[in-house]
């Protein structure tokens, strides 16, 4: 950017109108007209437009507020820089007042977000629309409200902006200002009949303000008795109490909780009871009476737990504050060796009903990651042949977790099918995360086997069989057995040390429960191919796959066999395994057919045809 800051560098070097003219330390290229407009160099802008005939609406590249923006037209850049004279010039030269960046952000949105009301007025004069949303459905009014720009909000409302328009996730302008603590803007919007509607996750502006700790917003809305239903008012006060309890302001927390408890009763009758969770785990129970509440006043530990229980009931398990709060409290239990209590707390979070149920949600993956990390941590630290450790004495908890994850995988695989289009790619990515967690759970099972009773191990293998039967695959078509032979499986958890795959015990467990050693991925690689690609190829793992029916001479889509892949690593086949016992007459015959180009598709049975195809 240093070079681009000179207003004449683009012209002096005779660089074309769309050619990047400067490069910063990160190797990012910047477009002359975009940079000149952003920096407000009017003379340079005029030269580029009038003498070099730069296309005014061409997408440019510029760094704004430390962020590299691609697809930014000159008009948007001038507005971001706050240069009204450049904006007026570009519009006068025919710039489109409604042109968007790569993220569909309009010039009006930029002016509103930065409180450039004088520029917004110029845009209106040239026909700019006030309510065009970006790719997330966010309008200029929402951005101005979130940033507390009362002047911009007033201007947009007078220009006809829809005060009740909502983004793709259901958030309105009043939601934006409530969640960011902008009381002045909130009052302006309510005076314009803004509705206090919930987003698509069921969170209202009042609840969002409470979750963010904006007490002044919450108190203002709580006093609007004609706008806030009693049930929402109770939830808001309980959530404020939970926020204060989390900040160790216990007296304030108790006061809000007592006020909420009183409002649940009308003339001594409980009219608004608390919604009880459908699944209970451990001894975690939310207070339901005034007597139970009074018993919390001198119990800091229980105050923290109650704060979590209130937050997950009102905000749901997907809310970031909920997720982090449960994780931190569980880690504190784990650090003290209270693994069962940690498990119960995290399972409660995992099993709490989501507002928009999805087995692939970020929150669900977060809690699964924590739980599986807990088991991996404890099992790796436990001495061998120790039968009194928590994972063994409470083995049914591990099976319950396995059942939960397997159920998620079965549900996802029933909906996802090959091929992988862009719309579904993100779901396959999340499915891969779930499968990665499962692989580490399988590893935990194999490490526990010596300490388990026969009936426990049979129950565990039954769950693994259900998982294998679901045939989960990632976006590359890799099965569980492919992944067990891979080196790329890692889990993100503070509790988990570096674990290394491939793993012989997991491979044997999958083979024992029906995994197909000959199943190819979408590029024709079998688990044996994956094993051959590793830097070090285990003889024991290779023999395990071959003994289960893997073909040593199977070819992938690039024509590589196990032998040729090991040769690329500088290792001969006989150094890994003796090929003779694992080469059948059928394999030799198939190879001869392929080597001599003999036509076989119309002659052989389809199953035999597929057999010849892979050789």
Residue range 131-148, pLDDT digits in tens:
999 989 999 999 999 999
| Domain end position, chosen among 129, 151, 180 | 129
Q: CB within 8 A of 340, min separation 6: which ones? A: 282, 390, 394, 397
Residue 280 has what pLDDT? 65
CA–CA separation, 544 vs 181, rounded Å? Answer: 62
In a domain, 277, yes or no: no
Alpha helical stretches, state H, 336-478: 339-351, 362-381, 390-393, 395-413, 422-448, 454-469
Strand pairing class (67-72; 60-64): antiparallel
> For tokens 């289960």, what's the residue?
548
The secondary element (H helix, E strand) that includes residue 565 is: helix 562-568
Token look-up 């928009």 returns: 356
Separation between Cα atoms, residue 530 and residue 450, nearest integer Å: 29
* CATH number of the domain within which 117 lies: 1.25.40.20
d(CA 506, CA 541): 10
Beta bridge partners of 270: 265
Structure token pair of residue 422: 């862009």
Whole-angstrom distance between the N-terminal and C-terminal Cα of the chain? 57
At 5, list the tokens: 């800051």
Q: How many domains does the chain have?
A: 2
Pairing of strands 29-30, 265-266: unpaired
Q: For 294, how many CA atoms within 13 A lie in the half-sphere containing its CB?
A: 3
**Any residues with CB less than 8 A from the CB of 85 and at least 6 apart, and which?**
40, 42
Q: Which residues of the chain have pLDDT under 70?
A: 1-30, 65, 277-280, 354-357, 359, 384-387, 415-427, 490-499
How far, CA to CA in Å, does 265 sit from each of 289, 389, 578?
Answer: 11, 47, 80
CA 387 to chain centre: 37
Question: What pLDDT shows up at residue 361?
Answer: 81
d(CA 266, CA 249): 29
What separation in angstroms does the CA of 496 have from each of 320, 374, 375, 406, 503? 22, 8, 9, 21, 16
Rounded to 10 degrees, the C-alpha dihedral 451/452/458/459 comes to -130
Which of 499, 501, 496, 498 is closest to 377 using CA atoms? Answer: 496
C-alpha atoms less than 13 angstroms from C-alpha of 505 in its C-beta half-sphere: 14
191 within some domain: no
3-state secondary structure of 426: helix
Note whether residue 75 is domain-resident: yes
The four Cα atoms 481, 487, 489, 493 give a dihedral, to 10 degrees, of: 140
C-alpha span between 36 and 44 (Å, rounded): 6
Q: Which of 376, 349, 605, 341 is nearest to 506 (CA)?
A: 376
The torsion defined by the Cα of 430, 435, 439 and 444, in degrees rounded to 10, comes to 80
Closest by CA to 154, choosing from 175, 177, 179, is 177
The answer to whether position 502 is within a domain reads: yes
Q: Do the domain assignments include residue 335?
A: no
217 near 178, Cβ under 8 Å? yes
Range of the domain at 75: 1-129
Hey, CA dihedral for 135, 136, 140, 144, is it positive or negative? negative
308: number of Cβ within 10 Å: 24
* Model pLDDT, residue 255: 95
Q: Nearest CA to 343 among 389, 406, 311?
A: 389
Asked if residue 162 belongs to a domain, the reply is: no
Burial environment of residue 354 by CB neighbours within 10 A (0 to 12, 13 to 18, 19 or more): middle
> What's 99's DSSP letter?
-
In angstroms, the CA 189 to CA 197 distance is 13
Q: What is d(CA 260, CA 241) in angstroms, rounded to the nearest whole number?
A: 9
What are residue 67's DSSP bridge partners?
Answer: 64
Q: Which stretches does DSSP call E strand in 196-343?
A: 265-266, 269-270
Distance CA 448, CA 450 (A): 6
Q: Which of 515, 531, 550 is the last residue of a domain?
A: 515
pLDDT digit string (tens) for 506-563? Answer: 999 999 999 999 999 999 999 999 999 998 899 999 999 999 999 898 889 998 999 9
Q: Which residue matches tokens 């290394």? A: 500
Burial code of 483-492, b = ≥16 C-beta within 10 A, e = fewer? bbbbeebebe
Residues ≥6 apart with Cβ < 8 Å to 106: 76, 98, 99, 100, 128, 129, 132, 134, 140
Where does 163-229 have alpha helices with state H?
173-179, 183-191, 205-211, 215-222
In a domain, 511, yes or no: yes
Q: Concatenate the DSSP letters of all residues of 11-64 into one string.
A: HHTT--TTS--EE-TT--EE-HHHHHHHHT-HHHHHIIIIIS---TTS-EEEEE
Token pair belonging to 48? 């580029």
Q: Is 269 helix (H, G, I), strand (E, B) or coil?
A: strand
Residue 596: CB atoms within 10 A of its CB come to 7
Question: In the listed set 107, 129, 151, which residue is the last one of a domain according to the structure?
Answer: 129
Query: How buried is 283 (Cβ within 10 angstroms: 0-12 exposed, 13-18 middle, 19+ buried)?
Result: exposed
Decide if 600 is inside a domain: no
């Amino acid at each position: 950017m240093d070079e681009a800051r000179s207003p004449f560098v683009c012209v002096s070097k005779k660089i074309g109108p769309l050619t990047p003219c400067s490069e910063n330390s990160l190797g990012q290229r910047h477009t002359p007209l975009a940079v000149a407009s952003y920096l407000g160099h009017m003379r340079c802008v005029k030269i580029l437009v009038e003498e070099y005939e730069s296309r005014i609406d061409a997408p440019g590249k510029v760094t704004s507020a430390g962020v590299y923006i691609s697809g930014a037209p000159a008009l948007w850049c001038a507005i971001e820089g706050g240069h009204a004279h450049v904006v007026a010039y570009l519009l006068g030269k025919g710039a489109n007042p409604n042109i968007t960046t790569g993220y569909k952000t309009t010039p009006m949105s930029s002016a509103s977000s930065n409180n450039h009301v004088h520029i917004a007025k110029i845009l209106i004069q040239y026909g700019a629309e006030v309510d065009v949303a970006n790719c997330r459905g966010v309008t200029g009014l929402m951005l101005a409200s979130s940033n507390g720009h009362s002047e911009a909000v007033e201007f947009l409302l007078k220009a006809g902006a829809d005060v009740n328009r909502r983004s793709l996730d259901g958030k309105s302008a009043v939601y934006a200002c409530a969640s960011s603590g902008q009381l002045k803007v909130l009052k302006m919007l309510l005076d314009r009949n803004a509705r206090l509607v919930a987003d698509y996750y069921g969170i209202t502006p009042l609840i969002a303000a409470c979750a963010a700790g904006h007490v002044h917003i919450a108190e203002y809305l709580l006093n609007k008795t004609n706008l806030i239903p009693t049930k929402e008012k109770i939830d808001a006060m309980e959530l404020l109490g939970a926020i204060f309890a989390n900040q160790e302001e216990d007296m304030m927390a108790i006061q809000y909780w007592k006020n909420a408890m009183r409002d649940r009763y009308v003339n001594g009758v409980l009219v608004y009871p608390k919604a009880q969770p459908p699944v209970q785990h451990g001894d975690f129970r939310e207070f339901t009476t005034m007597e139970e509440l009074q018993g919390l006043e001198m119990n800091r530990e229980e105050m923290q737990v109650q704060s979590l229980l209130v937050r997950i009931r009102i905000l749901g398990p997907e809310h970031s504050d909920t997720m982090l709060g449960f994780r931190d409290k569980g880690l504190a239990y784990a650090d003290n060796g209270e693994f069962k209590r940690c498990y119960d707390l995290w399972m409660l979070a995992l099993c709490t009903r989501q507002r928009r149920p999805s087995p692939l949600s970020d929150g669900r993956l977060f809690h699964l990651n924590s739980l599986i990390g807990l088991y991996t941590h404890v099992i790796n630290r436990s001495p061998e042949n120790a039968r009194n450790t928590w994972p063994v004495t409470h083995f049914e908890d591990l099976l319950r977790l396995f059942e939960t994850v397997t159920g998620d995988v079965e549900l996802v695989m029933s909906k996802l099918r090959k091929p992988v289009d862009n719309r579904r790619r993100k779901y396959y990515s999340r499915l891969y995360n779930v499968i990665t967690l499962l692989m580490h759970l399988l590893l935990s099972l194999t490490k526990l086997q010596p300490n388990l009773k026969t009936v426990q191990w049979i129950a565990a293998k039954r769950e693994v069989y259900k998982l294998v039967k679901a045939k989960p695959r990632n976006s590359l078509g890799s099965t569980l057995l492919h992944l067990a032979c891979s080196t790329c499986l890692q889990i993100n958890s503070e509790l988990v040390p570096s674990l290394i795959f491939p793993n012989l015990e997991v491979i044997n467990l999958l083979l024992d429960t029906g995994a197909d050693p000959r199943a190819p991925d979408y590029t024709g690689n079998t688990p044996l191919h994956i094993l051959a690609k590793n830097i070090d190829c285990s003889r024991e793992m290779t023999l395990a796959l071959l003994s289960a029916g893997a073909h040593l001479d199977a070819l992938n889509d690039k024509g590589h066999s196990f032998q040729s892949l090991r040769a690329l690593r500088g290792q001969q086949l006989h150094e890994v395994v003796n090929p003779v016992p694992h080469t059948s007459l059928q394999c030799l015959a198939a190879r001869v057919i392929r080597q001599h180009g003999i036509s076989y598709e119309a002659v052989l049975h389809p199953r035999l045809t597929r057999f010849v195809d892979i050789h």
